[in-house]
Amino acid sequence: MPLLVTGSIGIDTIRTPHGSSENCIGGSAIYFAMAASFFSHVRFIGVIGADCPFHIPSLFAGRDVDLGGLEVRAHSKTFRWAGTYKETMDDRVTDAIELNVLAEQPSVVPLAFADSRFVFLANTAPRLQIQLLSQIRAPLFVAADTMDFWITDHLADLTELLTKIHCLIINADEAKLLARQSNLIRAAEQILAMGPSIVIIKKGESGALMCLADGSKFVLPAYPATEVRDPTGAGDSFAGGLMGYLAQARTTDFETLKTAVAYGTVVASFTIADFSLAGLTSVTREDIDARLEMLRRCTGF
């Protein structure tokens, strides 16, 4: 079933205790699409400038990703981000950021994409997320990501967005900030009261918590990864695995949602094993399924 993603395409410079990667491909839409393509056809919307050194079609060669929404702006520059991870890998410092095309008007959804049934609005300004969603005719399931900046500086727009989506995917610190609650269960319940029927809280190496408006809850630990070289893109890969599986399954009942969270967790565990997309491009769907079965064995009792 058609799955659409809109988000950033970036040129990243990443430093971690395990090494560095200069001017590598990044961005929320890139990680999401790569992860989701293991499960489903993906419709991609994103913007780059003429300075982008990467050939995006080659990047997704052999994968079921429709780049009909990729826009190259001849007189603009591509989004750039540089960050450094500290020893624990949970503490990240942004060294530099250049919004460039992300500070401009967003792309228009191609008419061929307007019938997308599953939609993921990757992290960007809530007003832009609302504008894009308004161009989709009758989505079956819409999920969105956000960040602390939008919560603190664009809360009115974010509050409006929450009334238009089915699922919010958010990390633990952001959930507490948005809900003004220190307890994650209470924070999730407060966010559910704002509009979405599902809240999924990412807890990093502690796993994920999913809460539904009907009171159903699901907690899953992170995959016991032994290789953590670069956490960049882990959250977007989690969302890609989750949404890709839902689009493949064509349903969003509670049991399917639980499996989707598990797939998202497993895909993210491959992302963090190497810099940029190397952790995702070196594996197959069979590798993902094998790791999912291992996670099932680890969490069964």
- Which parts of the chain fold into alpha helices (H)? 28-36, 56-59, 126-133, 148-153, 155-162, 172-179, 184-192, 234-249, 254-271, 278-281, 285-299
Distance CA 73, CA 80 (A): 15
Distance CA 66, CA 198 (A): 28
Tens-digit pLDDT profile for residues 275-286 = 999 999 999 999
Tens-digit pLDDT profile for residues 224-261 = 988 899 999 999 999 999 999 999 999 999 999 999 99
pLDDT recorded at residue 102: 87
Q: Which architecture, in CATH terms, is 3-299?
A: 3-Layer(aba) Sandwich (3.40)
pLDDT recorded at residue 147: 87
Tens-digit pLDDT profile for residues 59-105 = 999 999 999 999 999 999 999 999 999 887 777 888 998 989 988 88
Tens-digit pLDDT profile for residues 114-161 = 999 999 999 888 998 999 999 999 999 999 999 888 899 999 999 999
Tens-digit pLDDT profile for residues 27-71 = 999 999 999 999 999 999 999 999 999 999 999 999 999 999 999
pLDDT recorded at residue 124: 85
Distance CA 246, CA 253 (A): 9
Q: Is the dihedral of CA 129, 220, 229, 291 positive or negative?
A: negative
**pLDDT band (50, 70, 90) for residue 15:** very high
In this structure, the number of other CB atoms found within 10 A of the CB of residue 109 comes to 23
Angle between helices 254-271 and 28-36 (to 10 degrees): 120
**Among the listed residues 145, 133, 85, 144, the one whose alpha carbon sits nearest the alpha carbon of residue 106:** 133
Distance CA 245, CA 292 (A): 13
**pLDDT band (50, 70, 90) for residue 299:** very high
In the block, residue with structure tokens 């395409």: 9
In this structure, the number of other CB atoms found within 10 A of the CB of residue 102 comes to 22
Distance CA 145, CA 167 (A): 9
Distance CA 131, CA 255 (A): 32
Position 263, amino acid: Y
| Angle, CA of 13, 45 and 71, to the nearest 5° | 80
Contact 2, 247 (CB under 8 A): yes
Backbone torsions φ then ψ of 142, nearest 5 degrees: -120, 125
Q: Which string of DSSP letters, residue by residue, matches 142-160?
A: EEEE--HHHHHH-HHHHHH
Q: Is 91 helix (H, G, I), strand (E, B) or coil?
A: coil
Q: Is the dihedral of CA 74, 76, 79, 82 positive or negative?
A: positive
In the block, residue with structure tokens 């400038």: 49
In the block, residue with structure tokens 């979405």: 196
Tens-digit pLDDT profile for residues 199-233 = 999 998 889 999 999 999 999 999 998 889 999 99
